Amino acid sequence: MDFVSIRIITDQIKPLVAFYEAITGLTATWFTPDFAELATASCTLAIGSTRTLALFGADVAEPAANRSAIIEFRVADVDAQYRRLAETIGAFVQTPTTMPWGNRSLLLRDPDGNLVNLFTPVSAEAIRKFDRKAVAPADAIA
């Protein structure tokens, strides 16, 4: 099994896609007006409008209701990302902070209120853990 994608369902697809394009530096691929994807080397973030829910059955997902998942992006320099995004994001949930497990983390919310974590491994153990993983295009943003 290979984890390849996570999908966010939203009532406001254009602003949500624009937000993720801004934080990742990637350009979304729009497959329909109701479905877009941002692909990194390791995973794809899919964004679908609530209109796509009809394909799965009524009431299978509720937009802007997540309170348990955090969407995470590894970046080369989380402090540089903080400086870059400070002008456009407004409020952050948490400014860059080094976590006990060795990642330096920046926490914010997307337009639907989903938590988004940009992080950089900084401890020797965290760096070793991620050395074996491919660096996604968003990681090169400085």
Q: What amino acid occupies position 105? A: S
Predicted local confidence at residue 61, as pLDDT: 85
Q: How far apart, in whole angstroms, are the C-alpha atoms of residue 11 and residue 22?
A: 19
- The distance from CA 29 to its chain's CA centroid, rounded to whole angstroms, is 15
Q: Using an 8 Å Cβ cutoff, are 114 and 71 in contact?
A: yes
**Average pLDDT, whole number, for the chain?**
89
Q: Are strands 70-74 and 115-121 parallel, antiparallel or unpaired?
A: parallel
Domain boundaries 5-57+68-140, corresponding CATH code:
3.10.180.10
Condensed to tens digits (0 to 9), the pLDDT of residues 15-30 reads 999 999 999 999 999 9
Q: What percent of the chain has pLDDT over 90?
A: 71
Whole-angstrom Cα distance, residue 69 to residue 10?
15
The mean pLDDT of 30-59, rounded to a whole number, is 91
pLDDT tens string 82-113: 999 998 887 899 999 999 999 999 999 999 99
